Amino acid sequence: MTRQPEMQIASRVVYQGRILNLRVDQVRLPNDQETFREVVEHAQAVAVVAVDEDRNIFLVRQYRYPVGKELLELPAGILEAKEEPLSGAQRELAEETGIMAGSWQYLFSIYSTPGFTDEQIHLFLARELHFTGQSLDEDEFIKVTKVPLEQVPEMIRRGEICDAKSIAGLLGAALYI
C-alpha cells in the first residue's frame, strides 16, 4: 500500500524578511491525524567549487552570525529574481573572490535542510580561473583562502570545513577533478 503524502489544510505566513519567510502549515498526515509544520521559505542559491590548474580550491572565510563563528566555505549566494543558476554562480564567484572562470560544469543540486526549509542550492565546478578583484556587498567581510585539494578531506575530518553545502560540493567535485 502506498502512503499518501502530507496534505496541507491551512497555511499562514508569520514572518516575511529580506531573505526568508516563515510559514506555519496545518497538515493532514497519512493516518488522518492533523499537525503543524513550520516551513522556512528561502530563495534558491548557488555554490561554486573553483579549482585552479595546480589543484587548489578557493574558499571564503566569513563570520556567520547564526553559529557565532567564522566558517570556511565555498563561495555562494542567493539567486536574484529570475536569475539562472549558472549566471548566479558566475556572479557570486566574481563578487566574493574576484575570480572569473573560463570553464563551468553543473555538478548537482541539494536541499540544505529539507526538514524545515525549501532552500535548494545548485553546485558548480569552475576551472580555467583568472582574477579580476572582489566586488563585495557592503555587509560582506570575506577573506579568500586557497587550499590544496589534497588537504580538503582532512580539513573536513577536523571540522575546519563544516557547512553542508561546502562538504557536498567539494566531495561532488572530487569526482571530476
Residue 2: its pLDDT value, please? Answer: 58
How many domains does the chain fold into? 2
Domain that holds residue 79: 45-173
To the nearest whole percent, how much of the chain has pLDDT over 90? 86
pLDDT higher than 60, residue 1: no
Q: Is residue 2 part of a domain?
A: no
To the nearest whole percent, how much of the chain has pLDDT over 70? 95
In terms of Cβ atoms closer than 10 Å to its own Cβ (0-12, 13-18, 19+), residue 13 is: exposed
What is the C-alpha separation between 122 and 95, in angstroms, rounded? 17
Whether residues 53 and 93 share a domain: the answer is yes
Across all residues in the chain, what is the average pLDDT? 93
Annotated active-site residue in 41, 84, 96, 138: 138
- pLDDT category, 21, cuts 50, 70, 90? very high
Whether residues 94 and 150 share a domain: the answer is yes
Q: Is residue 1 part of a domain?
A: no
pLDDT higher than 90, residue 167: yes
Whether residues 52 and 77 share a domain: the answer is yes
Residue 3: its pLDDT value, please? Answer: 63
Q: Global pTM?
A: 0.90
> What mean pLDDT comes out for the span 86-91?
97
> What mean pLDDT comes out for the span 71-88?
96
Residue 133: its pLDDT value, please? Answer: 77
CATH of the domain at 92: 3.90.79.10
Whether residues 14 and 55 share a domain: the answer is no
Quote helix, strand, coil % in the chain, to nearest 5.
20, 45, 35
Q: Which residue has the higher pLDDT, 2 or 152?
A: 152
Residue 175 phi, psi (nearest 5): -70, -20
pLDDT higher than 60, residue 128: yes
Q: Is residue 159 part of a domain?
A: yes
Whether residues 99 and 120 share a domain: the answer is yes
Instruction: Assess whether 138 carries a catalytic annotation.
Output: yes
User: Which residue is listed with cell 570556511?
Assistant: 72
